[in-house]
Chains A and B, each alone.
Chain A
Amino acid sequence: MIDRAFDLLLIGGMLGLAVQVVASRALFRSVVLFIALGLLMAVVWARLAAPDLALAEAAIGAGLTGALLLAAYRALQPAGEAGDAEPAALPRRWALVAAVLSGALVAAIGWAVLGLEPPAASAGREALARLGESGVKSPITAVLLSFRAVDTLAEVVVLFAAFLGARVVAEPLGRAGPGPRPDPAGGEPVLMPLLLRVTVPMGVLVAGYLLWSGGHQPGGAFQAGAVLAALGVLLRLTGRLQPVAETSPAERLALVGGIVLFSAIGLAGAGMASAVLAYPEGWAYTLILLIETGLTLAIALPLTLLFSGSAGLRWRGR
């Protein structure tokens, strides 16, 4: 009974928050509510017994997107104005038309989904039944890197293409990202170096742990990459990493390394194993861990650079 009450409260809170995020006319309030929505969403995935999704939601939804929205909010604010500026509202009748149309769309899709017959044999059950053939113990990693490896490869390519696209669009604007912080030490609170000294090594440790745990429990390259990207954001905002206009050879290697490594191992599978993107007998776990390590960097670096709004980053300690 108490779990029912918990779930009902969670659903009510989610719906209320979602309405507030969209309906609130004060921008900063919407940003904070969106961060809260991401946290509640992680609890929802936890309740649905999907820790993988809870991890991804906590890292991307609440962490990275929250930092991105906060930076965007700062960029939108005119200088010297600290108030919560209200944006110009859409005329009421247009808002009503949009609401009715989206409501009808959601109702139509919901109606169609409710009418579907549940399939007798789903791909998920088959993946669980044949988990032993994948070489890893975590069903999610088995699907991502063994059974449906081609999807994962395409996803990383999409991320890389998104990074290139953002660079092309941002180049003429010249002022993407949160702007450089010229002097790391200038006017910095005394607690900041201490915070970094604790958080950054811990974050690297957590990323490594998540990467390694992907083989046998929830975790993996995406979560580890998101944690590394969040650390990159932290170092970028405190001036330890400075935005620069050129991408260094090491950064280029990290950007494409994961894709090249994944493709090379996948193509080698045509000769050494049964098919393209299949792994040779007995080598699956080692190769999957190797690919995931490359993918972690290929996910973390584009995300950090997209936040930074620059082509590259240079270390500049104190």
Chain B
Amino acid sequence: MYAVETLDLAIALFLLLNLLAGLGRVHHGPGAADRMLAAMLFGTTTVAVLLLLAEATALPALRDVALLVVLLAAVLVVAFTRTPRREEER
């Protein structure tokens, strides 16, 4: 394995550690917004991990996966902030 790929994987490993540390925020909260923000941080970190893996394992298609995660994070935020409560319209 070449040195650059080892470095890519090492950074990916560090990011994965970050991601798992972020689980603490999901666990403790305290509010729903804190938990949702932690999920968004997961999304961003996953994009970085996928891009690094695309380089390290020579699978360019993983960049498409990263692109998809970026796009769908926007949908999740809107689903969190804009879903109306049923009772409000009754």
Contact = CB atoms under 8 A, between A and B. Distances in A.
- Co-assembled chains A and B: yes
Interface of A: 2-3, 5-6, 9-10, 13, 16-17, 20, 28-29, 32-33, 35-36, 39-40, 42-43, 46-47, 49, 51-52, 54-55, 58-59, 62-64, 66-67, 70-71, 74-75, 77-79, 82, 84, 175, 178-182, 189, 192, 195, 199, 202-203, 206, 209-210, 213, 217-219, 223, 227, 230-231, 233-234, 237-238
A9 B69 CA distance: 21
Nearest to A233: B75
Contacts of A78: 87
A189 B80 CA distance: 14
Contacts of A66: 72, 76, 79
Contacts, number: 180
Interface string B1-33: 100001001101100110110010011010010
A69 B57 CA distance: 33
Contacts of B19: 13, 36, 40
Given A2-B9, A42-B46, A43-B49, A36 B26 contact: yes
Interface residues of B, number: 53
Nearest to A177: B86
16 contacts: A16-B20, A16-B23, A51-B65, A54-B50, A58-B72, A59-B72, A63-B76, A64-B72, A70-B83, A75-B86, A181-B84, A182-B89, A192-B82, A195-B74, A213-B64, A230-B71
A233 B77 CA distance: 12
Interface string B48-90: 0110011001011110110111011011101111111111110
**Consensus secondary structure, chain B interface:** helix
Nearest to B16: A9
Given A29-B29, A58-B72, A6 B13 contact: yes
B30 to A, nearest CB: 9
Which of A58, A59, A182 has the most chain B CB within a 10 Å cutoff?
A58
A189 B61 CA distance: 35
Interface of B: 1, 6, 9-10, 12-13, 16-17, 19-20, 23, 26-27, 29, 32, 35-36, 38-39, 42-43, 46, 49-50, 53-54, 57, 59-62, 64-65, 67-69, 71-72, 74-76, 78-89
A6 B9 contact: yes
A2 B20 contact: no
A70 B76 contact: yes
B54 to A, nearest CB: 8
Given A46-B59, A59-B72, A234-B75, A71 B16 contact: no
A267 to B, nearest CB: 34
